[in-house]
Structure 1
Amino acid sequence: MDIEDVSSWPAMQREAEGQDARKTWLAPSPAAPHDEWWLWKPSLPTKGSAERRLTHIAEYATAQLARIMGLPVAECRLATRDGEIGILSHNFCPPPFSLTHGAALLPQRKHQRLRDIEEALTAVAAPVSCPGLSAFDVFAGYLVLDAWVANTDRHERNWAVLEDLDGAHVLAPTFDHGSALGSGLTDARRESRSIPDFCSGGKATRYEDAGSLLDLAQSALERCDSLPWAERVASTRREEWQAILDSSEGLSQVARTFIDNVLATNQERVSELCRP
């Protein structure tokens, strides 16, 4: 796909969330309404190396995979700004909506608990793209997605609820997947890592009694009626995600092979959730 150069886009507002001060809200023009704003997130160096993290690839690829699953997800585009590669994430909370992170909805604990999240979402509607489902049903889908893409960063500020002027609440689309797919590894580390060990080592450390990401997804699904999320992961053809990776410019062959194998291995692991 074409990578858009947004160097000429004006900066509308600094992003207060997160640790990277360079995250900035951009828009095509100074007069653009809020629903045309995009959050610019540049790729950062890996720890101890000049090699760039693949946070932009992880975010872009995970958004496409979420769409394949039928999950609501923040729209993402690969972009460059002043010579830097990064990702644009579309503003899914323009006025008059307001956003409340999960942290404000849960009891103050060191780790999140599924039962607290389920209770917090009781009076929250599912996104309109998921008719017939509850907000927690959809949140369970987010956790299945995390298990597939090895996203260990679903903390209480990486999910949210939207509120309109009438006080109605709806679960926000899934967002901020830059930590998925081993994005922080160098190519040398990707070549040396065992794929099965990497996949089984994905822990749900943001949750109480943290087991694996797969264990967390299974626990969430067990709290719901029959849901399609694991089946949709299982039925995704390898060619579909390979096409996504092929469209991600700047991805080394080492990284492409690593991500491809992680998705294939975790697909098989998630498929276990479909079996009696």
Structure 2
Amino acid sequence: MSAWTVIRDEPGGRDKNKRWIAEDAASDRDQHWLWKYRQATGDGSEAALTDCAEVFTSRLAAAINLPAAECRFAILDGDLGLISRNVTPHGFNLNTGTSYLPEVEGYQRGPSAGSDAGGGRMRLDEGYTLDSMERVLEHVKALPGVGELSGFAVFTGYLVLDALVGNGDRHPGNWAILERQSDGARFLAPTYDHGSALGAGLTEGNRRDKDPMAFARRGRANPFSPRKQLLVDLALEAVGRSGADFWVARIAALDEASIRETLEAPQGRLSEVAYTFVEQVILENQRRLCHGDVGKD
């Protein structure tokens, strides 16, 4: 990794040390990768498993044929982290949901919570609902090669993935629309930025003491209105609205062996305690999605 070329730094967000890199400085931007260091746990005492969360979620998305940024474990100058491939193809512009939601009646962007004024998580938006998402994605399609799906059907897949891995950070900056420069056609960009999934910010002691099944059942879609919706509830409601129940069928088709394959990591990245916790969270959320455990938590 140290031999790669730094293309530019990536400003904003909680991680101030992200940078775009590439093996060849002259390569197209879809060959650029975003380097991210491991973040710290909430109390700052340990390195969080943000790299594992991103890589494992990327693999799970691939296992159900859901468009997602490809993520790989990486080391840069001796530091552990990951690289995430650019999701913007040549000939497209990418804009996050924060550019489109203000066009929807009833949506009001609130101040960022838990971050400085420069960016970060947006948890106080009003009117950020499935209704508003349907309106934003009304004329948005799936990317070529994904199938004849609506943008909302693909977004439903993102919510199903969030429920599987316990990603409660699907704020309007964590999804995007690609606009083709030639004709302005809009396509839903692959999902990206899953560093908050799978209890990545927990300390090792937290994982040892917590019941992973109970932890999974408390997973909430915090950015969405109304507040405190369960991730599984939101995902299954989106499935019902879009008719995209094939995402749940694909989740159901994952056996324990294939899930374990997605959790492979280089030595030293993941303790046995963390591995067991992550696996049990995924298996419990898989069960809940496939058995329709709505509102039972």
* TM-score bracket for this pair, using the shorter chain length: over 0.9
Contact 1:137–1:227 (CA<8 Å) still a contact in 2?
no
- Distance (Å, rounded) in 1 between the aligned partners of 2:239 and 2:262: 27
- Distance (Å, rounded) in 2 between the aligned partners of 1:47 and 1:37: 30
Contact 2:52–2:265 (CA<8 Å) still a contact in 1?
no
**Deviation of residue 246 (structure 1)?**
2.7
**Deviation of residue 35 (structure 1)?**
2.1
C-alpha RMSD over aligned residues: 1.7
**Deviation of residue 274 (structure 1)?**
9.9
**Deviation of residue 241 (structure 1)?**
1.6
Q: TM-score, normalised by structure 1?
A: 0.93
Aligned to 2:101, which of 76, 97, 106?
Answer: 106
* Aligned position for 1:63: 58
| 1:265 matches 2:260 | no
SS of aligned partner of 1:11: strand
| 1:174 matches 2:191 | yes
SS of aligned partner of 1:204: coil
Contact 2:153–2:244 (CA<8 Å) still a contact in 1?
no
- Distance (Å, rounded) in 1 between the aligned partners of 2:168 and 2:145: 25
Q: Give the partner amino acid of 1:56.
A: D
Q: Give the partner amino acid of 2:287.
A: E
- Distance (Å, rounded) in 2 between the aligned partners of 1:182 and 1:43: 14
Q: Give the partner amino acid of 1:142.
A: Y
**Deviation of residue 63 (structure 1)?**
0.5
Q: Give the partner amino acid of 2:6.
A: A
- Equivalenced residue count is 270
Contact 1:36–1:91 (CA<8 Å) still a contact in 2?
yes
* Aligned position for 2:118: none
* Aligned position for 1:133: 149
Aligned to 1:190, which of 200, 207, 217?
Answer: 207
Q: Gaps (5+ residues) in structure 2?
A: 109-124
Q: Give the partner amino acid of 2:176.
A: A
| 1:76 matches 2:95 | no
State percent identity of aligned pairs.
40
Q: TM-score, normalised by structure 2?
A: 0.87
Q: Gaps (5+ residues) in structure 1?
A: 1-5
* Aligned position for 2:134: 118
Contact 1:230–1:274 (CA<8 Å) still a contact in 2?
no
| 1:88 matches 2:83 | yes
SS of aligned partner of 2:219: coil
**Deviation of residue 9 (structure 1)?**
1.3
Q: Give the partner amino acid of 1:32.
A: S
Aligned to 2:259, which of 229, 238, 241?
Answer: 241
1:189-224 CA distance string (max 9 Å, x none): 001112222111111111001310011101111111
SS of aligned partner of 1:35: helix
* Aligned position for 2:120: none
- Distance (Å, rounded) in 1 between the aligned partners of 2:293 and 2:145: 23
Q: Give the partner amino acid of 1:68.
A: A
